[in-house]
Structure 1
């Protein structure tokens, strides 16, 4: 092996390792999704939360491998291993692993909104459609093989392409706005609203909720930093901006949420969701402000959703991922400007258009898929099964089995 080929091989190997480490960090975030949901739902639905997240992950892995990644990037792995490895140490298939972790976030996000009253298999089917088709189509339009046309439109209208470095819009907004139709079609949990009055259902386990938030926050640095894709493109500003947005979200939630631990721990996630799009552009102080605003949006948005609109979104995934994901796209167009210390090259008009396009795309897909499932196989548990809890009704075992021994 000559010097040039050795250098090339080392570069390819470094990129593969870089992406693999990022993939493992984002994969670990799915444990965070699970514990966040388990801590929020009642004890009779904790097993269901764990099984849903793991099943959705597994199904997403298969459908994104066979259908989703080829849709998004035009690369299929239905060929001999020698061809898969190619001359870059299997970079493409490692890239699939990394981006699968993004795709699998979609059903994981939705899971928190529909918790405690959704049937198991219809949601698995919906998650498979979203991870295998819906999400990859939008991913292709923004990041992938079909991006040239839509990005050219954004540039022509707004003066710059739509910028979403790590998925505020492509991942989180899509997931949150897909969840809204599901929550609306399902309707509220039994006893949540009676005679027009709200009866909040207490969460089960604050330590589990906090653990979920911490796992997600730590993994998020793989989510954002490793979105560079190549070791040579890594940016320290992405890491620090992610950190600043996170703590901005925590501190704002501490004040706006009046020291409520649920808001504080979700405030960290609000900041991280919002900064994804512009984490490579903003000044750290602007990232802090972006995260703080996102957290305030969540605190008041959750109240409006639950108490004014009477939408029983158990984990508040619509305001947290949907609305704040949209804010993140727009925030990149504001705080990414050179006048505010950013890198520049972004347009508020393009960022707003791209964020709105995601909302329309997700809502249309969400109402279509869940509408069809609702009219055919049904998506809600029977009243008796919901009353018993999804753990016993679906899985025939509770989170604490010894309590059911007679």
Structure 2
């Protein structure tokens, strides 16, 4: 058990580092006047998520709370050395990815404290509700799937539980918030809003890519359960996604760096059961699908999802959940133990809960507190409007 505690601590630290990736991906994509706000929101959302998941969310998902003396906490369940506590840390880093994902969609015009309130509600109730259904068998949902479709829903590292949920929760948030000022003209034309820093965007992607191997491989939960197949599949899906996005996105650096992430999102669910060639195909479809989905949502539906989190996490997560039921089959060289229908129904259940949850939570917050910055504050930028400082204060002072 000592080894497992160390193993999961390393995994949790790697996924914690991914939050720096979320931060820099957002910092590089937003305009310069909103960089500080992006950094502050990602790290404070992690703080609010920790408190919400510690006091409420973990108990909602797994029926475990920490209101006991340390002597009992160290041996929760059949564990020793506080394994359940480090397991909480690991799963918290997944839960906190939900607001970090949504942050990229709503950035540049969201109010600070109402967003923090939404984070608490999502991580305390909505996310753990579905997490518990899938990863803890709550409400007999997995047993029902197995009885109905021959297998339970397989989501090894969270294509749907984490990414699909985050991406489709963001849909309600982005729609209720509305587009940034100047993004779409009255005549319906799409106005380009350029990213501020491509190197930061790229750095964010790289940090996420590296941390993802903790996200996927360490989802085994124990050192003994760790699988080289998961590592190889994650790698091949990542490169499949980035190459497909490079081609579909015509060398655009934003698409390339996000395409790698789309491949990784898509492989989470089936990373422990699909053949490596299947993983490559899953990544290719994920990367190309992200580019097509991003352009469709921005240009046709006119939904101002700044970082493209709906197609990246929602769309690629949905594909990953279903793909595990295709490429996980023994007929395609997979390990088996999955059925297409169980994967389809499980995935669509997650999407439905996320879409409803996003509109309910952000609708409530909008009705009670308001969620959008004033036009004046948005024009000034969230950095000065909320934090009273810019990303380069010394330089900005010299220019005045």
Q: Give the TM-score normalised by the residue count of structure 1.
A: 0.96
Per-residue deviation, 1:374: 1.1
CA distance in 2, matches of 1:135, 1:375: 22
Partners of 1:344 and 1:404 lie apart in 2 by 59
Deviations 1:60-104 (A, max 9, x none): 111111111111111111111111112610000000000000000
Does 1:191 find its partner at 2:179? no
**Alignment correspondent of 2:114:** 122
Partner of 1:84: 73
Q: In the alignment, what sits opposite 1:154?
A: 145
Task: Answer whether contact 2:34 2:381 (CA < 8 A) is retained.
Answer: yes
Whether contact under 8 Å (1:74, 1:145) holds in the other structure is no
2:302 pairs, out of 310, 313, 318, with: 310
Q: Deviations over 1:199-237 (max 9, x none)?
A: 020001000000000000000000000000011111100
Give the Cα–Cα distance (whole angstroms) in 1 for the partners of residues 9 and 340 of structure 2.
Answer: 34
The one of 151, 156, 167 equivalent to 2:158 is 167
CA distance in 2, matches of 1:238, 1:342: 12
Give CA-to-partner distance per residue, 1:224-254, whole Å, 9 cap, x none.
0000001111110000000000000011111
Q: CA deviation at 1:145?
A: 5.3
CA–CA distance in 1 between the matches of 2:156 and 2:347? 13
* Inter-partner Cα distance in structure 2 for 1:397 and 1:144: 44
The match for 1:299 is 291
Q: CA RMSD in A?
A: 0.8
- Cα distance in 1 for partners of 2:361, 2:142 equals 27
Is the Cα–Cα contact under 8 Å of residues 237 and 282 in structure 2 kept in the other structure? yes
- Is the CA contact (8 Å cut-off) linking 1:72 and 1:145 kept in structure 2? no
Separation in structure 2 between the aligned mates of residue 371 and residue 355 of structure 1, nearest angstrom: 24
Pairwise mapping of residues 97-116 of structure 1 onto structure 2 (< 5 A)? 97-116=89-108
Aligned residues: 394
1:234-280 superposed Cα distances (whole Å, 9 cap, x missing partner) = 11000000000000001111111111100000000000000000000
Q: How far apart are the structure 1 equivalents of 2:125 and 2:136?
A: 14
Given the alignment, which residue of 212, 221, 242 partners 2:204? 212
Query: Which residue does 1:61 correspond to in 2?
Result: 50
Displacement of 1:155 after TM fit? 1.2
What corresponds to 1:3 in structure 2?
Answer: none
Residue 333 and residue 210 in structure 1: after superposition, are their counterparts in 2 closer, same or farther (change >3 A)? same
Cα distance in 2 for residues equivalent to 1:307 and 1:181: 18
Aligned to 1:323: 315
**Once the two structures are superposed, what CA deviation does each residue of 1:7-52 show, in whole Å capped at 9, x if it has no partner?**
xxxxx10010010000000000000000000000000000000000
**CA distance, structure 2, for counterparts of residue 232 and residue 404 of structure 1:** 54
- Equivalent residue for 1:35? 24
- State whether structure 2 residue 36 is matched by structure 1 residue 47: yes
Matches of 1:156 and 1:118, distance apart in 2: 44
Correspondence for 1:18 among 1, 4, 7:
7
Residue in 1 that maps onto 2:62: 73
Contact kept? 2:137, 2:143, Cα under 8 Å:
no
SS of 1:193 mapped into structure 2:
coil
The answer to whether the aligner puts 1:283 opposite 2:271 as a matched pair is: no
Displacement after TM superposition at 1:132 (Å): 1.2
Unaligned runs of 5+ in 2: none
TM-score between both structures, scaled by the size of structure 2: 0.97
Distance 1:277 1:143 in 2: 12
User: For 1:308-339, what per-residue CA distance to the aligned partner results, in whole angstroms no more than 9, with x for missing partners?
Assistant: 00000000000000111010000000000001
